[in-house]
Amino acid sequence: MAKSKPIIRPMTADDLETVVILEKELFSDPWPMSAFMDDLASDYSHPFVVQIDKEIAGYAILWIGVDEGHLTNIAVAKKYQRKSIAKRLLSYILRFAAESGLTQMILEVRPSNTPAIFLYESFGFARLGVRKRYYKNPVEDCLVMKKEITGVNLK
């Protein structure tokens, strides 16, 4: 049986166990369950999941502060990587941001994560600066990227 089309929807408490498992599988310094619980309870945080059939294929968290968005987390389960899930999720987040009246989006990424950097650059994110020794386990600098948001240049 063919897989259903991916659905992007708000994250719920029922998703947290799976999201935390994915977080631990995908990141060397994973966020704890409490961080995701805080995001679900926050007025400024907008967590989303990508669901294929009944399976969580990925997730992202957008924080909104006045007119600026901060993409704090985006992840895709290993079995769904290289299937345009991250591209679809980022496109959704940027549309959501534009519809929310945001004028810019920032994010941090490990300089060693070249696939993510390539994705962000393909969406018009530009390198803004570096935060020294930002990441732990392993210690690595952080590349800060920014995108101006207009209704015209969204994919």
Q: What residue ranges define each of the domains in the chain, with the CATH number in brackets? A: 7-148 (3.40.630.30)
State the pLDDT at residue 93.
Answer: 95
Model confidence, pTM: 0.89
Which of 108, 121, 134, 148 does the annotation list as catalytic?
108
108 classed as catalytic: yes
pLDDT band, very low/low/confident/very high, at 4 (cuts 50, 70, 90) = confident
What count of other Cβ atoms lies within 10 Å of the Cβ of residue 153?
12
17 classed as catalytic: no
> What would the mean pLDDT of 95-102 be, rounded to a whole number?
93
Q: How far is CA 69 from CA 12, 14, 92, 106, 132, in A?
A: 21, 25, 13, 6, 22
State the pLDDT at residue 124.
Answer: 94
State the pLDDT at residue 153.
Answer: 46
Q: Which helix (H) or strand (E) holds 90?
A: helix 85-99
> Higher pLDDT residue, 74 or 150?
74
Which of 120, 134, 135, 148 does the annotation list as catalytic?
120
State the pLDDT at residue 151.
Answer: 61
Q: What residues have CB less than 8 Å from 147, skipping those under 6 apart?
A: 94, 104, 105, 106, 120, 123, 124, 125, 126
Q: How far apart are CA 32 and CA 65, in angstroms?
A: 23
Q: How far apart are CA 31 and CA 24, in angstroms?
A: 8
Which tens digit of pLDDT belongs to each residue from 115-155?
A: 999 999 999 999 988 888 776 777 778 899 999 997 644 44
